[in-house]
């Protein structure tokens, strides 16, 4: 019997933000990247990018993070994962880590592309 209450793909009180960039030399954040919707900055760390949000959210509901290698290599950034998040805290950040095929942490290479989508809950209540 079908449900009387169909599920919607959009959560009330939530926003989606997209980040796309092509890594500079040795995985550096390109200087041409200035801002994306809800994103103030991206800072490269050791095998990570920290995405600083322009405003906080109450929860990180969903995400998709992908790497497209400039030159396919199993020793390069094979996979990207959200490794930490503090969207509701004082830092308002989402940290992405990069890993090779064996799961070892690596940096993105020059020319690698990063594509991210985050769904952020902006209203109080259950996530």
What is the spatial distance between Cα 127 and Cα 125, in angstroms, rounded to a whole number? Answer: 6
Phi and psi, residue 26, nearest 5°: 55, 35
8 Å CB contact between 77 and 122: no
Query: Does residue 1 register a pLDDT over 90?
Result: no
What is the spatial distance between Cα 57 and Cα 88, in angstroms, rounded to a whole number? Answer: 5
User: Which whole number is the average pLDDT over 18-40?
Assistant: 84
Q: What is the pLDDT of residues 48-79, one digit of tens each?
A: 999 999 988 999 999 999 999 999 988 889 99
Q: How confident is the model at residue 37 (pLDDT cuts 50, 70, 90)?
A: confident
Average predicted confidence (pLDDT) for the chain: 86
Task: Provide the pairing of β-strand 48-53 with 93-99.
Answer: antiparallel
pTM equals 0.84
Supply the pLDDT for residue 11.
56
């Amino acid at each position: 019997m079908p449900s009387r209450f169909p599920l919607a793909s959009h959560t009330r009180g939530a926003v989606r933000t997209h980040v796309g960039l092509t890594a500079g030399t040795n995985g550096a954040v390109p200087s041409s990247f200035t801002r994306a919707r809800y994103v103030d900055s991206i800072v490269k760390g050791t095998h990570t990018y920290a995405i600083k949000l322009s405003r906080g959210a109450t929860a990180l509901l969903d995400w998709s993070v992908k790497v497209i290698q400039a030159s396919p290599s199993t020793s390069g950034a094979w996979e990207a994962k959200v490794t930490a998040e503090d969207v509701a805290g004082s830092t308002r950040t989402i940290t992405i880590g990069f890993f090779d095929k064996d799961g070892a942490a690596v940096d993105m290479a020059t020319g690698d592309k990063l594509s991210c989508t985050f769904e952020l809950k902006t209203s109080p209540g259950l996530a």
